[in-house]
Amino acid sequence: MATFLFDEIIFGPVRSRRLGASLGVNLLPTKSKVCSFDCIYCECGWTNSADSKKLPTRDEVREHMQARLVKMKFDADNLDVITFAGNGEPTLHPSFAGIIDDTIELRDEYFPDARIAVLSNSTMLHKSKVVNALLKVDQNILKLDSGIDSTIQLLNQPHASITVDKIVENLHQFKGNFILQTMFLRGTYKGKTMDNTTDIEVKKWLSIVKELMPKEIMVYTIARDTPVETLIKVPLADLEAIADQARSLGILVQVSG
């Protein structure tokens, strides 16, 4: 199915189903996806980390962001959040921590009421600079799509060796001060069944949720085209049933169907 890439460093603002009026920040190349995962559901398509040297510089990001914020301020546009997402994993950028500092400064100057959010796949949390930078933002949204290693391998297709235990260990650094994001879907990939909504999957996921106790959870399913055509959107009622089990732990859960 057709997928798309963000062709600018700063894009939007767009209306996000989870975040509101969002100004996007893409720290990756504008013509290819660079990521430590190759998720079979990614709207940006397949990963091409060979282009990792084509990242925008810290100065370029600041310049483009300031120009867009100045224009939005002049036009009296609404802004709820500045969101780091784009064509892959934003924390792979070598100047990620400095860019976050620049963003906080610019946000405070032009839109002091706006939040800063980072969507991350949680693979760079072994780096203290990344963790410290994420702790500075309003919404550090960190992914864990399953509590079972074989599902992570099939669903996220990591480019380096990574385990659920390692991700969970790194998430403990936040002491609950993060938003857990989980994509639920069904289907097949290369002849293998993919379904992280089964009782076994949900039970394991909930045990990790209970261990980590994030301040919020975002539960969602596919909403746009994916590179794999055999994936199935999970019905809203099923997502709400999963969310209710997490809510029973006293955690705020946002569902996007």
CA distance 75 to 24: 18
DSSP annotation of 53 reads G
In terms of pLDDT, which residue wins out, 37 or 5?
37
170 in helix, strand or coil? helix
Handedness of CA 46, 51, 54, 58 (dihedral sign): positive
Give the pLDDT band of residue 115 (cuts 50, 70, 90). very high
Extended beta strands in the chain, E state: 10-16, 20-25, 81-84, 115-120, 139-143, 179-183, 185-189, 192-195, 216-220, 231-233, 252-256
pLDDT-based confidence at residue 1 (cuts at 50, 70, 90): very low
Average pLDDT, the chain: 93
| DSSP state at residue 40 | T
Average pLDDT over residues 211-215: 98
The two counts, helices (H) then strands (E), for the chain are: 7, 11
Q: At 51, is the pLDDT very low, low, confident or very high (cuts 50, 70, 90)?
A: low
176 touches 210 (CB < 8 A): no
Is 23's pLDDT higher than 50? Answer: yes
Looking at residues 231-249, what average pLDDT do you find?
A: 97
Average of per-residue pLDDT across 93-115:
97
The pLDDT assigned to 95 comes to 97
Structural domains of the chain, with CATH: 10-256 (3.20.20.70)
- Mean pLDDT for 212-228 is 93
Element (H or E) spanning 249, and its range? Answer: none
pLDDT tens, residue by residue, 120-143: 999 999 999 999 999 999 999 999
> Cis peptide leading into 29, omega within 30 of 0?
no
Task: Tell me what the mean pLDDT of segment 149-156 comes to.
Answer: 96
Mean pLDDT across 161-188: 96
How many CB atoms lie under 10 A from the CB of residue 73? 13
Task: Kindly state the percentage of the chain with pLDDT values over 90.
Answer: 80
Q: Is the pLDDT of residue 219 over 60?
A: yes
> Which residues lie below 8 Å from residue 62, measured CB to CB, with a gap of 6+?
99, 102, 106
pLDDT greater than 50 at residue 244: yes
Is residue 208's pLDDT more than 60? Answer: yes
Tell me the pLDDT band of 250, cut-offs 50, 70 and 90: very high
pLDDT of residue 159: 86
